């Protein structure tokens, strides 16, 4: 495991939903250390806690116990507004369902995070156009989400996630709604973003073929980390990553 300073560090993270007899412990003392530039696949059966851990890392949920450090800052001690700022400025999200506005252009969908940050129109337009070009959609800016294929919609979603230059990209089953060909295209894109731009990627997936693109695979079972494997090679268009 790398000895570089941790970008993200979970120590003894627990999460319990409900109280009394209805209480359910989704996470049971999770320890996880992630350094900048890693590409991690998080796997496990339904109910294993992998999505709960992802939500906590993404500041969409808070732990019941334990410590979560992001660049040395105790996230579990932050208030709601501070966590929202962390999400807005440091994290990007890609979901299985794309979550695009159907009747809104690709350009406008990608601009949304910058609009929330109060960026000027000219800067938003330029950044969104550049992000769309980065994911292979140069010339598709005016097309609405409803006019795009599933693979193209997910590319728009990835462009929206990277337009703010996040430190971490959180991808939750990013290929779950795509066929095999489109799935591998999206994974090759994510691998390129990780390799060429140094974006740290944490991806939840249940598909071994998709996890093969990552350099590290973390398996969750019953709310805990069951295994944490760093691979010698990662899949990238049939060859090992350098």
Residues 110-163 have pLDDT tens digits of: 999 999 888 999 999 999 999 999 999 999 999 999 899 999 999 999 999 999
Cβ-contact 236, 188 below 8 angstroms: yes
The SS3 call for residue 231 is coil
User: What's residue 222's pLDDT?
Assistant: 96
pTM comes to: 0.91
The tally of CA atoms less than 13 A away on the side-chain side of residue 100 is 31
Q: Are 201 and 8 within 8 A, CB to CB?
A: no
Q: Note the pLDDT of residue 96.
A: 86
pLDDT beyond 90 at 20: no
What confidence score (pLDDT) does residue 234 get? 58
In the prediction, which pLDDT does 235 show?
59
What pLDDT, on a 0 to 100 scale, did the predictor assign at position 21? Answer: 83
Residue 70 has pLDDT above 90, yes or no: yes
Cβ–Cβ < 8 Å for 233, 240: yes
Domain coverage including residue 149: 6-240
pLDDT of residue 241: 31
Average pLDDT, the chain: 92
pLDDT at 162: 96
CA distance linking residue 204 with residue 172, whole number of Å: 5
Residue 34 CA from chain centroid, whole number: 13
Residue-wise pLDDT for 4-18, tens only, equals: 789 999 999 999 999
Token duo for residue 18? 């409900």
Pairing of strands 239-240, 65-70: unpaired
pLDDT at position 232: 74
- The SS3 assignment for 234 reads coil
Q: What is the pLDDT of residue 224?
A: 97
What's the rounded Cα separation, in Å, for the pair 96 and 1? Answer: 30
Q: Which helix (H) or strand (E) holds 177?
A: none
pLDDT at residue 240 in the model:
33
- Give the rounded distance of the alpha carbon of 9 from its chain centre: 16
The more confidently predicted of residues 6 and 3 is 6
In this prediction, residue 5 carries a pLDDT of 87
The three-state secondary structure class of 32 is strand
pLDDT of 242 over the 50 cut: no
pLDDT surpassing 50 at residue 223: yes
In a domain, 1, yes or no: no
Q: Which positions ≥6 away from 21 have C-beta within 8 Å?
A: none
- At residue 214, what are phi and psi to the nearest 5 degrees? -85, 160
CATH number at residue 80: 3.40.50.300
- Per-residue pLDDT, 163: 96
Number of domains forming the structure of the chain: 1
Q: What does the pLDDT read at residue 136?
A: 94
């Amino acid at each position: 495991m790398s000895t570089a300073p941790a970008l993200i560090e979970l120590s003894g993270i627990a999460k319990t939903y409900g109280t009394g007899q209805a209480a359910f412990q989704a996470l049971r003392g999770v320890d996880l250390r992630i350094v900048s530039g890693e590409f991690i696949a998080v796997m496990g059966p339904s109910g294993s806690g992998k999505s709960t851990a992802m939500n906590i890392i993404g500041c969409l949920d808070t732990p019941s116990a334990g410590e979560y450090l992001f660049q040395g800052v105790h996230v579990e001690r932050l208030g709601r507004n501070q966590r929202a700022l962390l999400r807005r400025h440091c994290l990007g999200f890609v979901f299985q369902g794309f979550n695009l506005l159907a009747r809104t252009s690709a350009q406008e969908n990608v601009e949304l995070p910058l609009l929330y940050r109060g960026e000027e129109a000219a800067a938003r337009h330029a950044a969104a156009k550049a992000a769309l070009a980065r994911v292979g959609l140069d010339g598709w800016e005016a097309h609405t989400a409803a006019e795009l294929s599933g693979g193209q919609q997910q590319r728009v979603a990835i462009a929206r996630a990277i337009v703010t230059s996040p430190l971490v990209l959180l991808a939750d089953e990013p290929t779950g709604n795509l066929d095999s060909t489109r799935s591998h295209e999206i994974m090759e894109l994510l691998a390129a973003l990780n390799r060429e731009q140094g974006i740290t990627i944490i991806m939840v997936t249940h598909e071994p073929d998709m996890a093969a693109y990552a350099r590290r695979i973390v398996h969750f079972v019953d709310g805990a980390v069951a295994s944490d494997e760093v691979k010698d090679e990662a899949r990238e268009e049939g060859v090992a990553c350098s």
